[in-house]
Structure 1
Amino acid sequence: MQAPCGLLTASADGSILYANDTFCRWLGYERDQLVGRRKVADLLTIGARLFQQTHWGPLLQLQRSVAELKLELVRCDGARLPMLVNASRSESAGGDIDRFAFMVVNDRHKFEIELLQAKTNAERALEAKRQAESELKKASDLKDQFLATLAHELRNPLAPMSNVLALLQDDVVDTERLRWAREVLQRQLAQLSHLVDDLLDVARFNEGKIELRKRPLDLADMMRAAVEASGPRIEAASHRLTVELPSSLTVDADPTRLLQIMQNLLNNAVKYTPPGGDVMIAGYRDGDEAVFTVRDSGIGISPENIGSVFGMFVQLGRPKGYSDDGLGVGLALVKMLVDLHGGKVEAHSEGPGKGSRFTVSLPMCESETSEQATVEPGAAPMPRRILVVDDNRDAAESLAAVLEVQGNTVSVASDAAAALTVLDNGYFDAAVLDIGLPDMSGYELARRIRSKMGGARLTLIALTGWGQQEDKTKAFDAGFDVHFTKPVDVDELCQALGTPDGAPDDGPKQ
């Protein structure tokens, strides 16, 4: 008897247990060639097999049935036969059993189009998965490279600092050696601070937390300040520096960030230029834009790397003998900051060994009045009574020693409770508070001091490792007058401590 449809029974793993005559005739097999010898997947095209694994197989397992599924089966002679399939899963003594009913689809062309679309979608999904896996691997490799580089860069300044400290343990150190040791410590500490600041700036940018404080600035003044700041590096490398200052070019920019852009580009030029090479910074007007370029005669950039120089953590290969210092965030940070100013930055090079040129274009400022890039120093700090509160003993005592050298009288407390006791027993002009104290936060301590003392006569300074904008806002809301991020510039701290009447001249400082 010939059934109107093909019937097939299989175990849950797909092994064929039964096939009726109609199914065998359609596929061109004898029953004993299927039962116990093949699996359902063996009879499917590659596309249908993939569709089984990703779609109707899991559905059959979850909801126990699949209805009106269109797919192709492969005959024994290789021909494809479009089918409409209904399947159900039931329990038996030997395990789950799948029962299939197959009907031949007459509209073969329509079926082929639909099946091809399903196959294409599946292939696209696989390709997307492969691409995602590739991107994840690249990100993982980049992370590992960055962590290794970070460890290397942190050890670089720590090594000379450790050597200097070992030298200072000698009881007999002449004045010239002391001066040299102080300069080494200052340079290496500045390098550490620069690394941390760059990383924090990248994090702030990614979180949308960098806020520009723009004002009209003379581009030539900013270039002079950048050259002065990068001068020691340029001089140490014996480079020939050329400066071409523009006249009457005013930009609307954040002076700190614009200086950071220029310094990063100059330091990059110094790093990738051999000793005795040429470094040039020039400014000019181009239509409605103020432009400055930093050019060097260094190792250059290959054409295939031009497009990636502004990428995060990018460390382009360099010839043997060149410095490997840096985290690969300097140029990325330049682009981020230039973009925030509404400008653009471009890299140019004729190729390896032919130097490079970085061009920054910024919108011209509508105002004709520019402000100086630097802030004029105020009056010299006056000797004061100061309380330093920090649970890190070395940090507290070293800061106290520095302040005492300036002529101040300093007391130290290691927690908030001790600080409140000290304040109860004496008069103080200022207090420098760490935020992460063991018994309460520096924010809460500041509130209690303000509440207890009325806040009229005491300057409160936050000195902390937390430097995000939200941390500064919390500090000012708690009653602090000034916020500094560790490590602090001693001159700036002393200037803040020396402000008359125990309050900053123009509001909270950060």
Structure 2
Amino acid sequence: MAPPHIPGEPGSERLAPAGRTSRFLKWSAPVLGALLVLILGFVLMMSIAEVFVLSQLSKIALLLGIMVLSVSLMIWIQARVHLAENRQEATEESLHLLSDALIQARRDLAQHRESEQALRDADRSKDEFLATLCHELRNPLAAIDHAGELLLDLDDDQEQREWAVRIIRNQTRQLALLIEDLLDLSRISKGTLTLSLHPASLPQLLQSAVDAARSFLEDAKQTVVFQLSDEPMWVEIDPARMQQVLINLLSNACRYSDPGKSITIAATPRLSEVVLSVRDQGIGIDSTLMPRIFGMFVRGEAARNRSPSGLGIGLRLVKLIITRHGGTIVARSQGIGHGSEFEIRLPRIAPPAHLSTQNHPGIPAELPQLLIVDDNRPMVEALRLLLQREGHEVRVARSGRDALQAIGLQRPDVILLDLELPDTDGIELAQVLRSSDHSTPPPIIALTGSGRPTDLDALQQAGILALLQKPVRIQELRETLDRIFRERAGTH
């Protein structure tokens, strides 16, 4: 059965004249036969004198001849009608197929044009993305380079020295966040992003995120107003990832708000979830953009005019991370000029049994002694100085061989181990340390600057308890150390 035809499409016309002729012949044949039989009967009933002087046998022969002729004529007419119907059906079927082919060709052409347009749009988005990425990378690098030149020329101007150092710190953090966002998008698309879930108090997490975003909040002259419930609000999250989410939202609020405006962070517990919102008094979101606000490379014209910076990937990453936590996020805005709000809902959990690490035998009374195993001299020296200012005793090893010698001389409390050493693989070195040490081996925190996926099972089998991305954030390292000793204390 041929598929239905769309009115107005090619080939929807029927062979109306041929159809009427066939139907006329089909119905006229029996009528003609009946008429012939009546005529023959009439002739038979006529007297011999009225027609011809024929014998009885001749009349019978004549009658049979006429009947044979009539039947033959009827058979011939039926055959012609049947043949005409077959030809009509074949013709209509051919027209149906041709019509379907034309319709499909038209649809394929439309799809081809849509695909071609989508490819052009994707190519344009890619070009815009690469251009914006170059802009986002060059600006901080230029600021860092200029601040470095200024530091070299300064003598005793402490104020300008602090300003230059602050510029370098802020721009470096901006670069690190940008690279981390790009890597996370790649990990999520490949399914390699893993979460290290732990119970966390939401107010503490919010305060930590605001502290981490303090530099660009101050640069934008923005203030943060907290509206938090007094009830306990505990969630099971990856603290580093959730802080990344909050920093992205705070960064957008700063970027698209005028100086002196406030950003409101509110959190309210519900029966089975915690509702967190970040509201700003910025330019708002156009209603036409709202359905696509969490898409890749999406930026409205108002946002482009307001701030040419930004890759348009932050909100996409925010949604993906929240979804991986089992939560939801929605955006709200009354339109351009009315600010925006992002509301996050996360599953709520009961407060942990132990809320403090005090008096646990597994947690050292003093700050742990650290051994950094890494061959990147500038990074290691800067990290060593920062950790020493925190109060840690820090030693450094440049290779796997140096690390084994340093551990043999004095056993550290924690090892910060680069996974890509010049003389060995970091995982292999961790396995050696685990097998060669007859006592409990020191906790190992892996460091990596690679964007390639990391085999987390291999890390766990080697005794590595955590993985941190370079550049290492001091706050993240503090939280990781606290978590490791908290967990080790719980095993005693």
Fold shared per TM-score above 0.5: yes
Flag the 1:183–1:114 CA change in 2: closer, same or farther, 3 A: same
Q: Deviations over 1:284-331 (max 9, x none)?
A: 467865433322222122222112211112222237873333221221
CA distance in 1, matches of 2:268, 2:463: 45
1:506 aligns with 2:487: yes
2:324 corresponds in structure 1 to: 340
SS of the counterpart of 1:304? coil
1:126 to 109, 123, 138: 109
Flag the 1:447–1:224 CA change in 2: closer, same or farther, 3 A: closer
Larger proportion of helix: 2
2:21 corresponds in structure 1 to: none
1:326 corresponds in structure 2 to: 310
In structure 2, runs of 5+ residues without a counterpart are 1-8, 12-85
**AA of the residue aligned to 1:448:** V
Flag the 1:192–1:126 CA change in 2: closer, same or farther, 3 A: same
CA distance in 2, matches of 1:282, 1:387: 40
Flag the 1:213–1:480 CA change in 2: closer, same or farther, 3 A: closer
Please report how far the alpha carbon of residue 119 of structure 1 lies from its aligned counterpart in structure 2 after TM superposition.
Answer: 1.9
Flag the 1:359–1:491 CA change in 2: closer, same or farther, 3 A: closer
Please report how far the alpha carbon of residue 218 of structure 1 lies from its aligned counterpart in structure 2 after TM superposition.
Answer: 5.1
SS of the counterpart of 1:446? helix
Q: Is this contact kept in 1: 2:286–2:336, CA < 8 A?
A: yes
Please report how far the alpha carbon of residue 216 of structure 1 lies from its aligned counterpart in structure 2 after TM superposition.
Answer: 5.7
Identity, in percent, stands at 33
CA distance in 2, matches of 1:217, 1:173: 45
CA distance in 2, matches of 1:408, 1:379: 14
CA RMSD of aligned residues (A): 4.1
Please report how far the alpha carbon of residue 269 of structure 1 lies from its aligned counterpart in structure 2 after TM superposition.
Answer: 1.5
Flag the 1:439–1:188 CA change in 2: closer, same or farther, 3 A: same
1:139 corresponds in structure 2 to: 122
1:389 corresponds in structure 2 to: 374
Flag the 1:219–1:189 CA change in 2: closer, same or farther, 3 A: same
After superposing the two structures, state which structure 1 stretch, 489-498 or 281-290, moved more.
Answer: 489-498
Please report how far the alpha carbon of residue 465 of structure 1 lies from its aligned counterpart in structure 2 after TM superposition.
Answer: 0.9
1:433 to 404, 408, 417: 417
Q: Is this contact kept in 2: 1:220–1:245, CA < 8 A?
A: yes
SS of the counterpart of 2:289? helix
**AA of the residue aligned to 2:282:** G
SS of the counterpart of 1:506? helix
CA distance in 2, matches of 1:295, 1:359: 9
Please report how far the alpha carbon of residue 456 of structure 1 lies from its aligned counterpart in structure 2 after TM superposition.
Answer: 4.2
Q: Is this contact kept in 2: 1:223–1:245, CA < 8 A?
A: no
2:182 to 199, 204, 214: 199
CA distance in 2, matches of 1:126, 1:487: 51
CA distance in 2, matches of 1:214, 1:281: 23
Q: Is this contact kept in 1: 2:223–2:262, CA < 8 A?
A: yes
1:313 aligns with 2:297: yes
Within 5 Å, which residues of 2 pair with 1:413-424? 413=398, 415-416=399-400, 422-423=405-406
2:147 to 164, 168, 172: 164
1:233 aligns with 2:219: no
1:99 corresponds in structure 2 to: none
2:351 corresponds in structure 1 to: 369
Flag the 1:461–1:155 CA change in 2: closer, same or farther, 3 A: same
Flag the 1:506–1:294 CA change in 2: closer, same or farther, 3 A: closer
1:115 corresponds in structure 2 to: 98
2:165 corresponds in structure 1 to: 182
Larger Rg: 2
In structure 1, runs of 5+ residues without a counterpart are 1-45, 49-103
**AA of the residue aligned to 1:381:** L
SS of the counterpart of 2:302? coil
1:485 to 469, 474, 491: 469
After superposing the two structures, state which structure 1 stretch, 396-405 or 337-346, moved more.
Answer: 396-405
Q: Deviations over 1:103-138 (max 9, x none)?
A: x95432222112111222222223222222222222
**AA of the residue aligned to 1:195:** L
2:446 to 459, 462, 465: 462
Larger proportion of strand: 1
1:70 corresponds in structure 2 to: none
SS of the counterpart of 2:150? helix
1:296 aligns with 2:277: no
